[in-house]
Structure 1
Amino acid sequence: MSEGPLPKEGTAAPTRQAASRAVPFRGGGFAPSSHRAAAWIAFAAVIAAWQFGSSMGYIHPLTLPSPEEILTALADLARSGDLWRHLSASLGRLAMGWSLGTLAGLAVGLALGMFSIARSVGLPFVSALFPIPKIALLPLFIIWFGIGEPSKVATILFGVFFPTVINTYSGVDNVARSLIRMGQSFDMPTRDIVFKVVFPGAMPAILSGFRISASIAIVLLVAAEMIGAEWGVGALVLAAGNLMQTDYLIAGVVLLSLIGLTIGIVLSRLEALLLRWR
């Protein structure tokens, strides 16, 4: 029986050291990281290009004011005290509506995910009401609660409630059943299974729902404040638009963007705190 071709003259056979060479590790997983410097550089580049275009006359100030004019408008609002009045009114409504809608959504979402009767009865109602545009219900809330604060808070609450329910229900439903059965096998109390197994397992989906509901809350806040509100960022944007004061209008948009950015940072810190087990 032939033992295979011999190595050609001048070529060395594979050595034991080469055969036992370590294979590089390739299983690092998909773990993207954020680079804060890149974000700040991108922001600075966009603002610099915007200011350059405005200074050179490429961008008309009535169409899009320059960053310098927007900063001047914000400074004027701060000096007059109107900036704090608008911000405090908007933040109060946002905090109240988002908190109440989130608490109600968490309770209903957990019930839908854990109990058969609640799922059978509640899920069709949630599926039917979720697609309704919440802004369209604002006139109805005004009829029910009046034109004051309750109608604005109710609009935000209603808009926050449904995405929180959907994400909480989906997160609970996707928890590995083997973990729940393991807890039951070791005679863990139901309360411990809920708070030590189900709730932590559903937390990534719940926090994702928080981000979605926070964005929806800001949109509904602006819509609610444009109807019958004296103070609030939405009222500021509406009044500036009616008077063609685009610098104040964009200043209001910048305030809304800062609110959303702040909420995003807080939620990122919350994720890092609650999802350390990942």
Structure 2
Amino acid sequence: MSEILRSDALPSASPSLSGPQPVRFRGGGFTVRRHPWAALAAFAVLIGLWEGASRIGLASPLFLPPPSAVGAALSVMVTDGSLWLNLKASLGRIAVGWTLGTLGGMLVGFAMGIGSLARAVGVPLVSAFFPIPKIALLPLFILWFGIGEPSKFATIGFGVFFPTVIATYSAIDSVPRNLIRMAQSFGLPWRSILRSIVLPGALPGILAGFRISSSIALILVVAAEMIGAEYGIGAFVLMAGNLMQTDTLLAGVLVLSLMGLTIGTLLSLLERRLLKWR
């Protein structure tokens, strides 16, 4: 009887002990997965709700025209050539102003991130000038540079300059100091340290700053064109609003949205190309 109890008390052989079992991989957290159709589906649902609300009379066509009317107005803009004329003017101003502001901001940001004296002088000045609304300085720029393109370039460049300085300075300052000290202990010259350690480590933060500064440039070019420009998407939207052509106005807003989406896509491609090592 005792032998029977002993045999019953023994645990049965577990299948997990019969042989080695594969261990599930647990290191895939925070992995970015692509969902290419998610954004398109969200846009389709949003446009469908908007069109449906207009069709059943929940939204007035005067104050909120349906997407079909906006698309028709955009088609007219493409046909009569006004879209390309205004788009060319706005893109040219963004390209010049953003390039000038970005180059200047990167130079100052690098100096502040590397040099102690430049940091001591630059941080208070940037903190003092950055909160100033840049569009408020447009009348002053018009007095200095005239009503033409230079005043718009100055407004966009000045607005882009400070975010680029902050992004570049913060990105360089966040590079691990241990890597720099290790390179110095091996006797690497400063030029090699900047090229091989500081710049690659700061590049993600600098590119993130590009996204912010490009959005600021788009906002400022619209505001500058609304104040004093004959051509440009901002001037076109202002004219459509004054004439109560809300479908044409929203078509211009749609063009601005597509411009921002295109710039963001180009920056994403640039990030993939420059940050392959991640």
TM-score with structure 2 setting the length: 0.93
- The reply to whether residue 188 of structure 1 matches residue 188 of structure 2 is yes
Identity %: 60
- 1:269 corresponding residue in structure 2: 269
Q: Look up the match of 1:3.
A: none
Structure 1 residue 78, shift from structure 2 partner: 1.5
22-31 or 72-81: bigger deviation: 22-31
Structure 1 stretches of 5 or more lacking a match?
1-5
1:93–1:153 Cα contact (<8 Å) kept: yes
One-letter code of the match for 1:210? F
Match of 1:155 in 2: 155
Letter of the 1:188 counterpart: L
Who is 1:112 aligned against?
A: 112
- Deviation digits for residues 128-155 of structure 1 (CA, Å, limit 9, x no counterpart): 1111111221111112111111111111
TM-score, length basis structure 1: 0.93
Please give the per-residue CA displacement for 1:222-259, whole angstroms capped at 9, x wherever unaligned: 10000110000000110011111101110110010000
Match of 2:68 in 1: 68
- From the superposition, tell whether residues 229 and 18 of structure 1 become closer, same or farther in structure 2 (CA, over 3 Å): farther
1:216 matched residue in structure 2: 216
| Letter aligned with residue 174 of structure 2 | N
RMSD: 1.7
- State the distance in 2 between where 1:59 and 1:120 align: 55
Give the superposition deviation at 1:264: 0.5
**Equivalent residue for 1:203?**
203
Give me the whole-angstrom Cα distance separating, in 2, the residues matched to 1:275 and 1:119.
27
75-84 or 200-209, which deviates more = 75-84
Shift of the alpha carbon at 1:182?
A: 2.2
Equivalent residue runs for 1:232-251 within 5 Å: 232-251=232-251
Letter of the 1:53 partner, please give it.
Answer: A
Cα distance between partner residues in 1 of 2:251 and 2:23: 56
Are 1:7 and 1:13, in contact at CA under 8 Å, matched by a contact in 2? no
Name which of structure 1's ranges 43-52 and 16-25 shifts more when overlaid on structure 2: 16-25
In 1, the alpha carbon distance for the partners of 2:193 and 2:8 equals: 68
Q: Work out whether 1:168 is the aligned partner of 2:141.
A: no
Query: The residue matched to 1:254 in structure 2 has which SS?
Result: helix
Q: CA deviation at 1:22?
A: 4.0
The aligned length equals 273
Query: Using the alignment, how far apart are the partners of 2:73 and 2:243 within structure 1?
Result: 14
The amino acid of 1:230's aligned partner reads E
- Trace 1:115-130 onto structure 2 (pairs within 5 A): 115-130=115-130
Instruction: List, as ranges, runs of 4+ consecutive aligned residues in structure 1 with deviation greater than 6 Å.
Output: none
State the 1:15 CA deviation: 6.7
CA shift, 1:195, in A, is: 1.6
Give, in angstroms, the shift of residue 34 of structure 1.
2.9
Show structure 2 runs of 5+ residues with no match. Answer: 1-5
- CA shift, 1:23, in A, is 3.5
